[in-house]
């Protein structure tokens, strides 16, 4: 029989059980076992372990396995006592020691520097981690559902909208966890109806709690399906009495059948639609819709590194592209002559302007627009900068942005990245354009998860 086009045949069969050694973790933290060079991704398995797994998916280039038994346990394994977390997927690295997590993150950055940027000698520093890698989130948004006749708060089971009731979220500020339970109990007392997603009935959809890490100020947001929240005149005083840190209570109305948490309409129930937190001694005013870094203390570590790399003397003109609500530009402004922020979302720019004013900072100007367009415009106008700081979303920089930077020729660039792969890609392009990448400093903003944040220092080559 001649068979020219050989049909792909995986060396494993669905629903069969195999044994394999884990040689690597994917960037999402899944263990990788290889059977005849065919990779199988296994959740919960760690590098160095030999495991038994059942194949649950056979794809063209990889398969997926379900962990059945660990035959040879890694010394980096942490035993998980509470199974709910494994079901929720909020802490995909929880079974790995924190030291192991930091090493995993550093390895990932080194890997992309080598494979994508072709920079095997790039100095990647040890990941700056947290002393206590739990309780760090300053914001929580928990769904509310009825389970066995009771109003419950918790977390969705992975890839579903089934609620798993949960009281200790582990990575949220413990004060936020307590506040969720307090609000839950008040809602139970008054018989508030939990939202029912199937037929879009019931009322209370989500409870959001945000708390200033440095200020302790708390904001409660009750997301409801209808504007009525019965009996509001009792709920509000009860919350205030039991949670004295609360400065703001907002009701957000979302009538739609949707995965989006917040609706358009907001009703102020107590205080104003704002609370405060600080970052490196600057105060930020945050509304219920505003973006704010979720790990305040590590954001300070990150921005301190940016300042260190910037080595500002007070004479510099700085561009802060992808400036968001201005956290980085305010940190830079005190040490530079002038900072120009560029941000595409107008309300974020409004926040940034207000925050500059709140802190008495006058040498920052914000520009609403796409960074790639604004940079081209500015370089055409012959404007220049000593330092360009970028903090783009996961997809990294646009080619047009990079071309504009190469046209503008700043002496220095600092690249804050939440995706090492696009960072590596962009570094290679900047190096091709005559820049040198000096070093990369990863910072762990999201312990127990697979996210890696990095700062790279990039300089113009001097001959
Ligand atoms: N440093 C900022 C956050 C940066 S997150 C802070 O702490 O507030 C990335 C930001 O880039 C977001 O605010 C997003 O709205 C913005 N953004 C996304 N695409 C953009 C583009 N093409 N041009 C300018 N800003 C963009």
- Is the beta carbon of 179 within 6 A of some atom in ligand 1? no
Amino acid 463: pLDDT: 64
321-357 confidence digits (pLDDT tens): 999 999 999 999 999 999 999 999 999 999 999 999 9
User: Selecting from 3.30.70.1520, 3.40.190.10, 1.10.287.130, 3.40.50.150, what CATH number does the domain 114-129+295-460 have?
Assistant: 3.40.50.150
179-231 confidence digits (pLDDT tens): 999 999 999 999 999 999 999 999 999 999 999 999 999 999 999 999 998 89
- Is the beta carbon of 342 within 6 A of some atom in ligand 1? yes
- Is the beta carbon of 408 within 6 A of some atom in ligand 1? no
Residue in this structure with the two tokens 């709920």, named with its chain if needed: 235
Q: Which of 64, 116, 232, 418 is catalytic?
A: 418
343 is in an annotated binding site: yes
CA 359 – CA 245 distance, rounded (Å): 23
CA 420 – CA 41 distance, rounded (Å): 21
The CATH-assigned architecture of domain 17-77 is Beta Barrel (2.40)
Q: Give the contacts of 1 (CB within 8 A, at least 6 positions apart).
A: none
Topology agreement, domain 17-77 and domain 139-279 = yes
- Nearest-atom index, ligand 1, CA of 391: 4
Give how far Cα 422 sits from Cα of 114, 398, 418, 429, Å.
13, 10, 9, 11
Cross-strand bridge partners of residue 18: 53
Amino acid 4: pLDDT: 60
25-50 confidence digits (pLDDT tens): 999 999 999 999 999 999 999 999 99
Amino acid 268: pLDDT: 97
Structure tokens at 396: 């990294």
389-412 confidence digits (pLDDT tens): 999 999 999 999 999 999 999 999
Does pLDDT of 1 surpass 60?
no
Give how far Cα 333 sits from Cα of 314, 360, 367, Å.
9, 11, 15
Q: What angle do CA 275, 277, 280 make, to 5 degrees?
A: 160
State CA 33 to chain mean position distance.
Answer: 28
CA 124 – CA 443 distance, rounded (Å): 11
H helices of 190-293, where?
232-242
Amino acid 5: pLDDT: 61
CA 378 – CA 80 distance, rounded (Å): 53
The question of whether 454 is a catalytic residue gets the answer no
| Domain assignments of the chain as residue spans, ordered by start | 17-77, 114-129+295-460, 139-279
* Nearest-10 crossing angle of helices 420-432, 399-408: 40
- Nearest-atom index, ligand 1, CA of 370: 23
322 alpha carbon – ligand 1 mean position (Å):
4
Cross-strand bridge partners of residue 456: 415, 440
Mean pLDDT value across residues 298-302: 98
H helices of 262-343, where?
296-310, 327-333
- Is the beta carbon of 393 within 6 A of some atom in ligand 1? yes
Q: Which residue has the higher pLDDT, 462 or 10?
A: 10
Which 3 state secondary structure label does DSSP give 405?
Answer: helix
CA 102 – CA 99 distance, rounded (Å): 5
Q: Are the CB atoms for 98 and 92 separated by under 8 Å?
A: no
Amino acid 81: pLDDT: 76
Q: Give the contacts of 180 (CB within 8 A, at least 6 positions apart).
A: 140, 142, 153, 207, 209
Residue in this structure with the two tokens 């360009």, named with its chain if needed: 388
- Is the beta carbon of 322 within 6 A of some atom in ligand 1? yes
Provide, rounded to the nearest whole percent, the portion of the chain with pLDDT above 90.
93
Does pLDDT of 115 surpass 90?
yes
Any idea which fold 139-279 has?
A: OB fold (Dihydrolipoamide Acetyltransferase, E2P) (2.40.50)
391 is in an annotated binding site: yes
Does pLDDT of 154 surpass 70?
yes
227-286 confidence digits (pLDDT tens): 998 899 999 999 999 999 999 999 999 999 999 999 999 999 999 999 999 999 999 999
- Is the beta carbon of 293 within 6 A of some atom in ligand 1? yes
Q: Give the contacts of 392 (CB within 8 A, at least 6 positions apart).
A: 321, 322, 371, 417, 422
Nearest protein Cα to ligand 1, atom 7? 327
Lowest-pLDDT choice from 160-164, 377-381, 411-415 = 160-164
Q: What angle do CA 394, 395, 401 make, to 5 degrees?
A: 120
CA 395 – CA 382 distance, rounded (Å): 28
Task: Out of 307, 331, 344, 351, give the residue to mutate to test ligand 1, the one with the largest number of ligand atoms within 8 Å of its CB.
Answer: 344
Mean pLDDT value across residues 139-147: 97
Nearest protein Cα to ligand 1, atom 4? 324
347 alpha carbon – ligand 1 mean position (Å):
12
Amino acid 7: pLDDT: 72
398 is in an annotated binding site: no
CA 10 – CA 33 distance, rounded (Å): 14
343 alpha carbon – ligand 1 mean position (Å):
6
Nearest protein Cα to ligand 1, atom 16? 322
Amino acid 6: pLDDT: 65
Provide, rounded to the nearest whole percent, the portion of the chain with pLDDT above 70.
98
Q: What are the E-state strand segments in 175-293?
A: 204-211, 218-224, 246-253, 265-270, 275-279, 282-286
351 alpha carbon – ligand 1 mean position (Å):
13
Does pLDDT of 414 surpass 80?
yes
Q: What are phi and psi of 431, to 5 degrees?
A: -70, -40
In 3D, which of 139, 97, 170 has the Cα closest to residue 299? 139
CA 443 – CA 295 distance, rounded (Å): 11
Average pLDDT, the chain: 95
Amino acid 86: pLDDT: 73
Task: Out of 393, 397, 418, give the residue to mutate to test ligand 1, the one with the largest number of ligand atoms within 8 Å of its CB.
Answer: 393
- Nearest-atom index, ligand 1, CA of 326: 8
429-455 confidence digits (pLDDT tens): 999 999 999 999 999 999 999 999 999
Going by pLDDT thresholds of 50, 70 and 90, the confidence category of residue 3 is low
Number of neighbouring beta carbons within 10 Å of residue 256: 11
- The side-by-side arrangement of strands in the sheet containing 387-390 is 364-368, 338-343, 317-321, 387-390, 412-417, 453-460, 435-443
- Is the beta carbon of 419 within 6 A of some atom in ligand 1? no
Amino acid 462: pLDDT: 77
């Amino acid at each position: 029989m001649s068979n020219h086009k050989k049909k792909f045949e995986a060396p494993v069969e669905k629903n069969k059980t195999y044994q394999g050694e884990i040689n690597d973790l994917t960037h999402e933290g899944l263990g990788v076992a290889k059977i005849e060079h065919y990779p199988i991704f296994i959740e919960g398995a760690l590098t160095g372990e030999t495991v038994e797994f059942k194949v649950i998916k056979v794809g063209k280039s990889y398969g997926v396995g379900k962990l059945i038994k660990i035959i040879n346990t890694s010394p980096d394994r942490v035993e998980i006592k509470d199974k709910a977390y494994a079901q929720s997927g909020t802490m995909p690295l929880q079974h790995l020691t924190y030291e192991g997590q930091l090493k995993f993150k550093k390895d990932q950055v080194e890997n992309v520097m080598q494979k994508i940027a072709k920079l095997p000698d790039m100095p990647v520093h040890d990941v700056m981690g947290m002393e206590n890698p739990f309780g760090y989130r300053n914001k929580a948004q928990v769904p509310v559902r009825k389970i066995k006749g009771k109003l419950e708060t918790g977390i969705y089971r992975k890839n579903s909208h089934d609620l798993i009731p949960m009281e200790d979220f582990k990575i949220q500020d413990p004060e936020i966890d307590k506040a969720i339970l307090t609000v839950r109990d008040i809602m139970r007392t008054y018989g508030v109806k939990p939202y029912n997603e199937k037929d879009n009935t019931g009322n209370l959809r989500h409870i959001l709690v945000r708390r200033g890490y440095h200020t302790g100020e708390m904001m409660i947001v009750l997301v409801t399906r209808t504007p009525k929240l019965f009996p509001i005149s009792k709920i509000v005083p009860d919350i205030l009495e039991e949670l004295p840190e609360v400065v703001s209570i907002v009701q957000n109305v979302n009538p739609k059948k949707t995965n989006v948490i917040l609706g358009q309409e907001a009703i102020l129930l107590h205080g104003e639609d704002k609370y405060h937190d600080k970052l490196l001694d600057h105060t930020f005013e945050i509304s219920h819709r505003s973006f704010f870094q979720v790990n305040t203390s590590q954001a300070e570590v990150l921005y301190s590194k940016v300042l260190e790399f910037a080595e500002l003397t007070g004479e510099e003109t700085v561009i802060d592209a992808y400036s968001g609500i201005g956290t980085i530009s305010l940190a830079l402004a005190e040490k530079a002559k002038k900072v120009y922020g560029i941000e595409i979302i107008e309300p974020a720019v409004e926040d940034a302007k207000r925050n500059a004013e709140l802190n008495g900072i006058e040498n920052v100007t914000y520009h609403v627009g796409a960074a790639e367009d604004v940079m081209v415009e500015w370089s055409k106008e012959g404007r220049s900068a000593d330092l360009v700081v970028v903090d783009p979303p996961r997809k990294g920089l646009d080619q047009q942005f990079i071309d504009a930077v190469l046209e503008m020729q700043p002496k220095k660039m600092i690249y804050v990245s939440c995706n090492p792969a696009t960072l590596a890609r962009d570094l290679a392009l900047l190096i091709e354009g005559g820049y040198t990448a000096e070093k990369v400093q990863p910072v762990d903003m999201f312990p127990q998860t697979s996210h890696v944040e990095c700062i790279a220092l990039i300089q113009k080559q001097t001959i």
